Amino acid sequence: MRPPILAFLLAALITLPLADSVFRIPIQVSDSLEAIVIATKYSSFWPLLTDSVRFSTTTFRPMRYEQTRWLLQTAAATGLTYNSVFRAVHVALMLLLVLLFLLAIRVRRWIDVAAFTVAFPALIGIHTFVAMLQEAYPVNHFAEVGVCALAVVVLSQQRARWFFPIVVCALLAFALSVVESGAMVWVVAICCAAAGMRGMTRSSAIAATLLLGAYLLARHALEISSPGIGGHGSGFGGTFYSPEELKQRFGAHPLGFIAYNVAGGLASLLFSEPRQGMYSLVIAWKTGAPHPVLLINLASSLATTALMVWYGVTHLRGGRAAWSDSDRLFVAACAVMIVNAALNAAYIKDEIMSVGGLFYAVAAYVAVRALLETIPRRGVVASALIALLLMADAGLWAFRAAGVHYVLRYDAFKTRNDWVEVLRPDKRDDWPTDPQELAITRRIRNEVVLRRVASPSFMPRWGDRYWVE
């Protein structure tokens, strides 16, 4: 069996059961229902597009509603349930992420397969990945941005073609039209160009920059501003604050809080701390009882990050002209992680760092492979220690990856229960008055309530201690 085929089969064995867990999550009430209701009121593309740019003063997401409308039409045309159609798209996006990750890291040799067994569990097990899978929009916009970002990396590794600028701009335009984090596609293109990756030419970088500038001008013309401090809740130290509390505490002097968020966003990738702005280490220090999941996450992240630091120190000394293709990929991945942290200026969310989490796994793969390549030059004792280190690190990441199933199944149970509160018979005054809105809400509710999900009572009792923070 050839190494690329083995890597593909290993990825499939891990990803396909995960796809089942993703598919079992019903349509969420929060964020999803409102967009679905709005989309049902439009029968064609253009009216919805022109109206959607005015739906909010802080967001510009026209494709969110257009995609929702297309999926509603697909459900009507095929006779499938809304849940089946919407969740199938979530599953497809996850599979695309895995496929593009495989294309980006380029498994070619047996030593690559060994590095893959560490990097792939890191891809699945990192907290930003499960946060992305739990996304509550009708279509998983953060996963769409991740797909576009990895697609840019794959293009950057190829020989430059005349149509690459067009493809990069198309990916960027689509990502920006679904969520503001779509700007990360531009960041990836610039980082790949700065690292000297052969497929990302100057023309591609310039075209992407001009498109981003046009997007920012369009937001300004439409008087759409980004939410500042107080737009969302976020953590600080060991406490989570509501939007009102954040505005009251940091609104007058925001610079310190912004610096905290940016540093915390990067630290969350490198060390799995903080989460949503809160440091579990602070909570553990106060209570004197560290949570087991904290220790597992810290140990796995510290070991992998240390390998990345080792790679940067030992392989990037000669300057860009002396870098190999692996060096350029590593530099681009690290740069993306650093810039991604800046998007957390107003508040920290794991989903915002989801692109950085994908590139953390890419950088980890390059570093682990480089360490494995040094084994023939080392003694027996050193080689054995390296093997034990990588086996332990891979085992910890695999344990975290297994916990993704637990988190998703638990989320499916909670989401199903959320719908019980919708259209309650004893609260008819809260029911929608519009017949069309009432009909689609009732249909989705009935689909969800009748959907079979596993109760936490049938899941491992120890799961919360080792997989949920």
pLDDT for position 274: 86
Condensed to tens digits (0 to 9), the pLDDT of residues 145-158 reads 999 999 999 999 99
> Is the pLDDT at 230 greater than 80, yes or no?
no
The candidate with the shortest Cα–Cα distance to 269, out of 244, 243, 305, 235, is 305
Angle at 58 between CA 54 and CA 60, to 5 degrees: 55
418 burial type by CB count under 10 A (0-12 exposed, 13-18 middle, 19+ buried): middle
- The model's confidence at residue 423, banded by pLDDT at 50, 70 and 90, is very high
pLDDT given for residue 403 in this prediction: 94
Write down the pLDDT at residue 1.
Answer: 74
Question: Both tokens of residue 340?
Answer: 């991604």
Maximum average pLDDT range among 27-36, 50-59, 406-415: 406-415
Mean pLDDT of 365-371: 97
Distance, CA of 379 to CA of 376 (rounded, Å): 8
Flag whether pLDDT at 324 surpasses 90: yes
State how far the Cα of 52 lies from the Cα of 64, in Å rounded to an integer.
9
Q: What is the mean pLDDT of the chain?
A: 91
How confident is the model over 374-378, as a mean pLDDT?
91
How many residues appear in the chain? Answer: 469
Q: Which two tokens stand for residue 187?
A: 């960041």
Measured CA to CA, the distance from residue 59 to residue 83 in angstroms comes to: 26
237 confidence band (pLDDT: 50, 70, 90): confident
**Tens of pLDDT, residues 183-193:** 999 999 999 99
